[in-house]
């Protein structure tokens, strides 16, 4: 197999550009979460954690028909609510 330097550099250059674009998009998403938290006087960490949970559900990583997850999360939340 022959590897063309031009082909490899073109591939790597394109991949690098895509990664830069993705990093900028992630920064924009983080800025949106921060702005929302500031505008609503919310703790940014809480907003980020809620968003992380949203991503898990959206990504299908938490089965919507599995009540076990909700029960476990509820138990943890209830435990720590009484500690405050």
Tell me the chain's radius of gyration from C-alpha atoms.
21
3-state secondary structure of 19: helix
| Cα atoms in the Cβ-side hemisphere of radius 13 Å centred on 17 | 6
For residue range 21-37, what is the model confidence (pLDDT) as tens digits? 999 999 999 999 999 99
Please state the rounded mean pLDDT for residues 67-73.
Answer: 82
| Contact by Cβ (8 Å): 14, 20 | no
Bigger pLDDT: 64 vs 71: 71
Question: Any idea what DSSP says for residue 54?
Answer: H
């Amino acid at each position: 197999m022959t590897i063309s330097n031009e082909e490899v550099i073109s591939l790597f250059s394109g991949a690098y550009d895509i990664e830069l674009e993705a990093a900028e998009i992630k920064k924009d998403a983080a800025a949106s979460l921060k702005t929302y938290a500031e505008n609503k006087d919310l703790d940014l960490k809480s907003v980020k954690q809620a968003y992380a949970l949203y991503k898990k559900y959206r990504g299908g990583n938490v089965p919507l028909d599995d009540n076990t997850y909700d029960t476990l999360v509820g138990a943890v939340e209830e435990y720590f609510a009484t500690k405050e």
